[in-house]
């Protein structure tokens, strides 16, 4: 599935949709904290993507793992993007 981390929709405290770009954050975190070459390479791919990036279910799991310390709201937006794709 294609996921665009540049256009994640997060609800603000008033319930408004706010579009945020977590692509460089997620890509850099995967690259710098990757536990293996697959995670590092996925981080590089996400970081340098021009828009949406194609992810396998295994790669989605890698993103879930690396973002587990994110806020509930951010994780919710990431999960929603991975469920529906671009």
The helix (H) or strand (E) run that includes residue 19 is strand 17-20
pLDDT digits (tens, 9 = 90+) for 12-58: 999 999 999 999 999 999 999 999 999 999 999 999 999 999 999 99
Flag whether pLDDT at 86 surpasses 90: no
Q: What angle do CA 34, 26, 80 make, to 5 degrees?
A: 120
Task: Give the burial string for 19-43 (b: 16+ CB within 10 Å, else e).
Answer: eeebbebbbebbbeebeeeebeebb
The separation between CA 70 and the C-alpha centre of its own chain, rounded to angstroms, equals 11
> Residue 84 — pLDDT band, cuts 50, 70, 90?
confident
pLDDT of residue 33: 97
């Amino acid at each position: 599935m294609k996921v665009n981390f540049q256009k994640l929709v997060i609800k603000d405290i008033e319930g408004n949709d706010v579009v945020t770009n977590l692509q460089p954050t997620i890509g850099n975190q995967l690259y710098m904290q990757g536990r293996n070459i697959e995670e590092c390479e996925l981080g590089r791919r996400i970081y340098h993507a021009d828009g949406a990036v194609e992810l396998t279910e295994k790669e989605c799991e890698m993103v879930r793992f690396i973002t587990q310390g994110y806020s509930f709201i951010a994780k919710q937006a990431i999960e929603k993007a991975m469920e529906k794709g671009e």
